[in-house]
């Protein structure tokens, strides 16, 4: 039995080593099995340089039809399992057909790689980047090794960032006005605003501000929408009176936000909303929702 198990083991060990692997920033990435691993972080237009090391198991040779490394950017929709959409696909041929008897290192370089979209792990969709090494073989399965990496892309401070002013009311019962200082926020920003009560003729029990993420995948009749409430922030407990104003100050850094993604490769979008919820003494709920834009600001050293 042990002989049979050994017969199916690959005849070599393959590793992908990045040239700046020891100094490059590492970030957590959740794998399909639920485990979290640390992987290198890149941004668009960077060079990805390193070497592939193939080391035959002692006493074995590796016959192959060529060795290549690919850099792939893929979108996977979970409701279309095993269906990957490659939006980036680069390849470097590392070796011609032959035999390997001893350890061999193959340098590789992908220069100023266009990686337009950020890595994303969502409810129904995953966008990922991988380095994939393939050792092609006759009659037996190819030997394949993967290295995941994460891409973050940064946005400068917006030149125009208008405030949000809205009114919500129920005729002759309730009239409130709310204002947020801006409409675009970076991931570590603070939402600052105020709520004014202009008319209160119903008994308000409490008021909350929610941050909601809405992920839309697919298109047409096969569109899937998932809405998650990421945070609930109690603004007020008790009945407000006319003329009262309530300040809002909500820090975004504790929450696992991503930037806003709009129609990524015609496959998915991710949007964020501030949802104001009022509850009266009869537990009726009143909502007012406003979209905000979230972006990734280049971190200061």
Cβ proximity of 149 and 39 under 8 Å: yes
Taking residues 190-218, report their average pLDDT.
Answer: 86
Cβ proximity of 231 and 211 under 8 Å: yes
Q: CA 133, 138, 140: angle at the middle one, nearest 5?
A: 80
Taking residues 38-52, report their average pLDDT.
Answer: 95
Of the pLDDT bands very low, low, confident and very high (cuts 50, 70, 90), residue 3 is very low
What whole-number distance in Å separates Cα of residue 158 and Cα of residue 261?
A: 16
Q: What is the pLDDT of residues 135-164, one digit of tens each?
A: 999 888 999 999 999 999 999 888 999 999
Taking residues 260-281, report their average pLDDT.
Answer: 91
Q: What DSSP string runs through 113-138? A: ----S--EE-SSEEEEEEEEEEE--S
Of the pLDDT bands very low, low, confident and very high (cuts 50, 70, 90), residue 2 is very low
Cβ proximity of 237 and 208 under 8 Å: no
pLDDT of 4 over the 60 cut: no
Of the pLDDT bands very low, low, confident and very high (cuts 50, 70, 90), residue 239 is low
Contacting residues for 16 by C-beta, under 8 A, at least 6 apart: 50, 52, 69, 131, 133, 145, 147
pLDDT of 243 over the 90 cut: no
Q: What is the mean pLDDT of the chain?
A: 88
Give the residue, 269 or 198, on which the prediction is more confident.
269
pLDDT of 241 over the 90 cut: no
pLDDT of 82 over the 70 cut: no
Over the range 50-85, which residues count as b (16 or more CB within 10 Å of their CB) and which as e?
bbbbbebeeeeebebeebbbbbbbbbbbeeeeeeee
What whole-number distance in Å separates Cα of residue 151 and Cα of residue 39?
A: 10
Q: What is the pTM of this model?
A: 0.87
pLDDT of 43 over the 70 cut: yes
Burial level of 179, CB count in 10 A (0-12/13-18/19+)?
A: middle
Cβ proximity of 183 and 292 under 8 Å: yes
Give the residue, 66 or 3, on which the prediction is more confident.
66
Select, from the ranges 78-87, 174-183, 206-215, 229-238, the one with the highest average predicted confidence (pLDDT).
Answer: 206-215
pLDDT of 240 over the 80 cut: no
> And the tokens for 108?
């590789």
> And the tokens for 252?
């975004």
Q: CA 224, 225, 231: angle at the middle one, nearest 5?
A: 150
Of the pLDDT bands very low, low, confident and very high (cuts 50, 70, 90), residue 32 is confident
Q: What DSSP string runs through the chain? A: -HHHHHHTS-SEEEEEEETTTTTS-EEEEE-TTS-EEEEEEE-TT--EEEEEEEEEPTT--EEES-EEEEEEEEEEEGGGTT-EEEEEEEEEEEE-SEEE-S-EEEEEEE-S----S--EE-SSEEEEEEEEEEE--SSSPPEEEEEEEEE----PPPS----EEEEEEETTTEEEEEEES-SEEETT-EEEEEEEEEEE-S-EEEEEEEEEEEEEES-GGG-EEEEEEEEEEEEEES---TT-EEEEEEESTTS-----EEEETTTEEEEEEEEEEEEETT--EEEEEEEEEEE-PPPP-
Phi/psi at 118 (nearest 5 deg)? -85, 155
């Amino acid at each position: 039995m042990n002989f049979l198990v050994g017969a199916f083991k690959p005849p070599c060990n393959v590793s992908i080593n990045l040239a700046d692997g020891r100094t490059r920033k590492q970030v957590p990435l959740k794998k399909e099995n639920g485990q979290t691993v640390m992987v290198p972080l890149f941004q668009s237009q960077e060079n990805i340089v390193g070497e592939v090391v193939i080391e035959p198991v002692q006493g074995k040779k590796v016959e192959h039809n060529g060795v290549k490394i690919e850099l792939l950017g893929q979108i996977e929709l979970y409701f279309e399992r095993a269906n990957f959409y490659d939006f980036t696909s680069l390849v470097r041929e590392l070796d011609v057909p032959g035999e390997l008897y001893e350890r061999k290192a193959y340098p590789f370089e992908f220069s100023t790689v266009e990686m337009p979209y950020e890595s994303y792990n969502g409810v129904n969709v995953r966008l990922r980047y991988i380095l994939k090494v393939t050792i092609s073989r006759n009659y037996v399965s190819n030997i394949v090794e993967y290295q995941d990496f994460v891409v973050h892309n940064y946005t400068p401070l917006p030149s125009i960032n208008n405030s949000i002013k809205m009114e919500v009311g129920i005729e002759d019962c309730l009239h409130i006005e709310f204002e947020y200082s801006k409409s675009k926020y970076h991931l570590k920003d603070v939402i600052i605003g105020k709520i004014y009560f202009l008319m209160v003729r119903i008994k308000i029990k409490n008021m909350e501000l929610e941050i909601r993420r809405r992920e839309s995948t697919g298109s047409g009749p096969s569109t899937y929408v998932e809405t998650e409430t990421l945070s609930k922030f109690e603004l007020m407990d008790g009945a407000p009176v006319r003329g009262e104003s309530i300040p809002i100050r909500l820090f975004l850094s504790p929450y696992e936000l991503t930037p806003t993604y709009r129609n990524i490769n015609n496959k998915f979008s991710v949007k964020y909303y501030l949802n104001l919820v009022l509850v009266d003494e009869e537990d009726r709920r009143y909502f007012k929702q406003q979209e905000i834009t979230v972006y990734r600001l280049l971190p200061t050293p």
